[in-house]
Amino acid sequence: MIRVVLPTHLKTLARVTGEVQLQVEGPVTQSAVLDALEARYPMLRGTMRDQQTHKRRPFVRFFACQQDLSHEASDTPLPDAVAVGAEPFLVIGAMAGG
């Protein structure tokens, strides 16, 4: 099972508390995790990535194993620790302003 941690506003939208656990078939990539997340919680479609292009939204960041994966290709395999459920995939809402 893949563990996903969402920011509070997305947890509220999806009506979940704590981590989300997902079953991901095939290679565990950002795209596969987001596909599974949006399939299970359709209300999240378009919140983390554009629905047409599937590109990450500007103020959303993805982290795993203390690494910023936001600029990695969406089909790059996630770290093994995420794939086996030892570490979570983190979706973070970035802040702007001063």
Question: For residue 7, what pLDDT is reported?
Answer: 94
Instruction: Output 17-21 pairs: Cβ under 8 A, ≥24 positions apart.
Output: 19/88, 21/85
Whole-number Å distance between alpha carbons of 60 and 81: 22
Taking the model in full, what pTM does it have? 0.91
CATH homologous superfamily for the domain 2-93:
Beta-grasp domain (3.10.20.30)
* Both structure tokens of 26: 């095939």
Question: For residue 30, what pLDDT is reported?
Answer: 95
Q: Note down pLDDT in tens along the chain; length 98 residues.
A: 999 999 999 999 999 999 999 999 899 999 999 999 999 999 999 999 998 998 999 889 999 999 999 999 999 999 999 999 999 999 998 776 65
Which residues lie across from 74 on neighbouring strands?
none
CA-based nearest residue to 27, from 91, 82, 88:
82
Domain boundaries, the chain: 2-93
Whole-number Å distance between alpha carbons of 95 and 84: 30
